[in-house]
Amino acid sequence: MPVSVIKSFVARALVPAAPGFIPALVMALLLAPLPMSAHHSAAAEYQSRLVTVRGTVLQFQWRNPHVFINVETRDATGAVQKLLCEANGPGALIENGWTKDTLKPGDKITLEGYPAKYRPNGFKVHAVILPGGRRLLME
């Protein structure tokens, strides 16, 4: 459709009803092709110190936008602690060798990652060492 036809339509049909419509339409059309990112930074939620914890898998949640592992561990005093461990989404994990069946409830694993700043049971996983000793990245 020629540009002159579009201009004519907009001028006759839309401008009298909403004079500010044209600048808004132009801006929307200019911005529409730009990729948008609504992702958050892990730095806001998690500490920067890398720690290692051992535990037992309670649940492995393979879903978007993040994969989660619920793990039962013991803290320094020996008390049972349940961690909610967050990783990247399935797409990124597949590239590192993960599948939805990599972990099962009862698996004994070692987690490398970052404790949450404000949630005592939150944990951002960097890598997991599986029962057979294989280390898989979760980033």
* Distance separating alpha carbons of residues 74 and 86, to the nearest angstrom: 18
Task: Give the pLDDT of residue 7.
Answer: 61
* Distance separating alpha carbons of residues 6 and 36, to the nearest angstrom: 27
Q: What is the pLDDT of residues 7-38, one digit of tens each?
A: 666 566 554 556 676 666 555 555 555 444 44
Side chain identity, residue 55: G
Degrees (nearest 5) of the Cα angle 93, 98, 104? 125
- 3-class SS shares of the chain: helix, strand, coil, % to 5: 20, 35, 45
Could you tell me if 34 and 83 are in contact, meaning their C-beta atoms sit under 8 angstroms apart? no
Task: Give the pLDDT of residue 18.
Answer: 61
pTM score: 0.69
Show the tokens assigned to 22.
């044209």
Instruction: Name residues of the chain where pLDDT drops below 50.
Output: 15, 34-38
Task: Give the pLDDT of residue 76.
Answer: 85
Side chain identity, residue 110: T
- The β-bridge relationship of strands 108-115 and 68-74 is unpaired
- Domains of the chain and CATH, by start: 1-34 (no CATH), 48-137 (2.40.50.140)
Side chain identity, residue 135: R
Task: Give the pLDDT of residue 45.
Answer: 76
